[in-house]
């Protein structure tokens, strides 16, 4: 099946049920099914032919959500673009994927016009509120005669998602219809994003954590409530107003939510499930979140864009005996229909408990990187996606993610995993947020360095934090230096801390493992 088949089913089984909510606008599944063939017809009139790309540079809205369905209906490939990238970065991506059409909203109109000047063959499509007279208006597409479904399915290319570049240069991840629908099936098999869900899209559509739930909710014919972009106040208001039942937050978003002044006064009684992932979460933040939302189920999701988002899940092991065993810190167990193994640098499977690279095999593994066959071959070997993440599997099959391979610190010949040190520091009551990196050391080559943001009004010294870490960690893992900051850490558009960017400042002009 393809994604348009999921739309047909949704209209058939829940035609009168609300599909999309954006501001004051609402559409049912039946209304959406009638609009999509017309929008696809309009895209065809704009010159789109099967296999060509439609790029989108926009904040989240309901028209953007429709394009995730209308573009494949017309036989095209959708390419969501990062709204926070510079013109230079976007020009590189536009030149790489060569879209026929670029859809933009009010916030991104000026950038879209600049990209169109760079690439005159590009047709601009406006999906905002007030269309300029010289640009094709999305509303006119809805008035076009409907066309037949082109019928893309299975291993046909559905979308190209460009990676955030937090660990290197951005690459176009090619996901098929099979990839994303298998990802939806995994969510459904675990009991969330089902047909009774009222799901809040808080993450950007250009990120897998925004688009993956959209596909899953389409497949289950549930309801999507769309925020243009994340803010803790906006998310709280939407949950209360629309009786939202589920959402996905990266740890930073979760922290902002529970720390917001309106958190305690907001009616969150409808909120049943939070999926969290996208970056590591400290035990301290997880404990605070579970305590703040005692009636909400928390689901840890481990994955990446190249795996149509998800590879391991857990949500039954956060309390009770599992905390004593440390299972609550695990990323979970392998998702249904997938395989996970841990390998050494020679691709040999390592014993349970030993750290190596996490590799995944199954129907969610991407088709490859757009126009990068050598990098595809390096990432996917014998069907196994090599994630670049370090981890271990315990005796019970729980996956423990220890670090990005490139974030591992090698000090005096010993491997130190930054997440383990961050977890230890985060248990100090004064620490609001911290990161741990390796910085140059004449004696050790690299030394463990912590950068800490304290809670408002809290106090701590370098000596007190090092002493705290010493009570929890082996001597070689203890930070040799601690730096205090008051400004927030730089973050990607998906709210991930840009650890690589922070680390580069310390290694400027020196040899290091940063790529």
One pLDDT digit (tens) per residue for the chain, 515 residues = 899 999 999 999 999 999 999 999 999 999 999 999 999 999 999 999 999 999 999 999 999 999 999 999 999 999 999 898 888 889 999 999 999 999 999 999 999 999 999 999 999 999 998 878 889 999 999 999 999 999 999 999 999 999 864 444 679 999 999 999 999 999 999 889 999 999 999 999 998 889 999 999 999 999 999 999 999 999 999 999 999 999 999 888 898 999 999 999 999 999 999 998 766 677 788 889 989 999 999 998 899 899 998 999 987 666 667 777 777 778 899 999 999 999 999 999 999 999 999 999 999 999 999 999 999 999 999 999 999 888 999 998 999 988 666 677 877 656 787 888 888 899 999 999 999 998 888 667 689 999 999 999 999 999 999 999 999 887 888 999 999 999 999 887 667 788 878 888 888 766 443 32
Residues ≥6 apart with Cβ < 8 Å to 256: 232
Can you tell me the distance from the alpha carbon of 330 to that of 277, in angstroms, rounded to the nearest whole number?
12
Task: Give the chain's domains with CATH numbers.
Answer: 3-291 (3.40.50.12780), 408-507 (3.30.300.30)
**DSSP states along 252-264:** HHHHHHHHSTTTT
At residue 440, the 3 state secondary structure works out as: strand
Can you tell me the distance from the alpha carbon of 21 to that of 30, in angstroms, rounded to the nearest whole number?
14
Task: Report strand pairing: 356-362 vs 246-249.
Answer: unpaired
Provide the β-strand partners of residue 392: 400
Is residue 509 exposed (0-12), middle (13-18) or buried (19+ Cβ within 10 Å)? exposed
- For 148-229, where are the E strands, in sequence order? 157-162, 172-176, 198-201, 223-226
Instruction: Give helix 208-220 / helix 3-14 axis angle, nearest 10°.
Output: 50
Cα dist. 202→107, 128, 194, 254, 449 in Å? 17, 19, 18, 11, 33
Sole residue written with tokens 């249904």: 336
CB atoms within 10 A of CB 386: 17
This prediction has a pTM of 0.83
**Residue 364 CA from chain centroid, whole number:** 15
User: What element of type H or E holds 446?
Assistant: strand 445-454
Instruction: Label residue 309 left, alpha or beta by phi (over 0 means left) and psi (-120 to 50 means alpha).
Output: left
Instruction: Label residue 334 left, alpha or beta by phi (over 0 means left) and psi (-120 to 50 means alpha).
Output: beta
- Tally of residues, the chain: 515
């Amino acid at each position: 099946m393809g994604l348009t088949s999921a739309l047909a089913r949704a209209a058939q089984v829940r035609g009168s049920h609300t599909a999309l909510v954006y501001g004051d606008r609402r559409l049912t599944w039946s209304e959406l099914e009638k609009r999509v063939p017309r929008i696809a017809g309009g895209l065809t009139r704009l010159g789109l032919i099967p296999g060509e790309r439609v790029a989108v540079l926009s904040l989240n809205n309901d028209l953007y959500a429709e394009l995730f369905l209308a573009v494949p209906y017309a036989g095209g490939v959708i390419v969501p673009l990062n709204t926070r990238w510079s013109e230079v970065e976007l020009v590189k991506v536009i030149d790489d994927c060569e879209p026929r059409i670029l859809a933009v909203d009010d916030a991104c109109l000026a950038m879209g016009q600049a990209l169109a000047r760079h690439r005159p063959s590009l047709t601009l499509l406006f999906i905002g509120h007030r269309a300029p007279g010289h640009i094709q208006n999305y509303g006119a597409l809805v008035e076009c005669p409907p066309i037949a479904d082109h019928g893309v399915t299975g291993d046909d290319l559905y979308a190209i998602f460009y990676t955030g570049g937090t660990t290197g240069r951005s690459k176009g991840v090619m996901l098929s219809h099979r990839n994303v629908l298998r990802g939806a099936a995994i969510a459904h098999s675990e009991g969330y994003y089902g047909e009774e869900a009222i799901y809040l899209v808080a993450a950007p559509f250009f990120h897998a954590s925004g688009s993956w739930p959209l596909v899953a909710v389409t497949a289950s014919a549930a309801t999507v409530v769309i925020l243009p972009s994340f803010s803790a106040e906006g998310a709280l208001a939407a949950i209360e107003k629309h009786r939202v039942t589920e959402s996905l937050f990266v740890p930073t978003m979760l922290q902002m939510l529970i720390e917001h002044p309106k958190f305690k006064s907001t009616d969150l009684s409808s909120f049943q499930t939070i999926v969290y992932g996208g970056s590591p979460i400290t035990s301290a933040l997880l404990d605070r979140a579970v305590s703040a939302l005692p009636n909400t189920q928390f689901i840890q999701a481990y994955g990446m864009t190249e795996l149509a988002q998800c590879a391991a899940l857990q949500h039954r092991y956060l309390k009770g005996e599992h905390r004593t065993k440390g299972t609550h810190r695990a990323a979970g167990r392998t998702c249904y229909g997938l395989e996970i193994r841990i390998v050494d640098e020679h691709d040999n499977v390592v014993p349970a408990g030993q750290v190596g690279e996490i590799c995944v095999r199954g129907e969610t593994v991407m088709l490859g990187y757009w126009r990068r066959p050598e990098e595809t071959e390096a990432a996917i070997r014998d069907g196994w996606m090599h994630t670049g993440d370090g981890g271990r599997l315990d005796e019970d099959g729980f996956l423990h993610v220890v670090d990005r391979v490139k974030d591992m610190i090698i000090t005096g010949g010993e491997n130190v995993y930054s997440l383990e040190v961050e977890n230890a520091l985060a248990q100090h009551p004064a620490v609001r947020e911290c990161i741990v990196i390796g910085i140059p050391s004449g004696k050790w080559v690299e030394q463990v360095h912590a950068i800490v943001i304290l809670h408002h009004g809290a106090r701590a010294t370098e000596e007190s934090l090092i002493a705290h870490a010493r009570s929890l960690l082996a001597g070689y893992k203890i930070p040799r230096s601690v730096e205090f900051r008051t400004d927030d850490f730089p973050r990607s558009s998906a709210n991930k801390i840009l650890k690589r960017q922070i680390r580069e400042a310390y290694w400027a002009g020196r040899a290091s493992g940063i790529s």
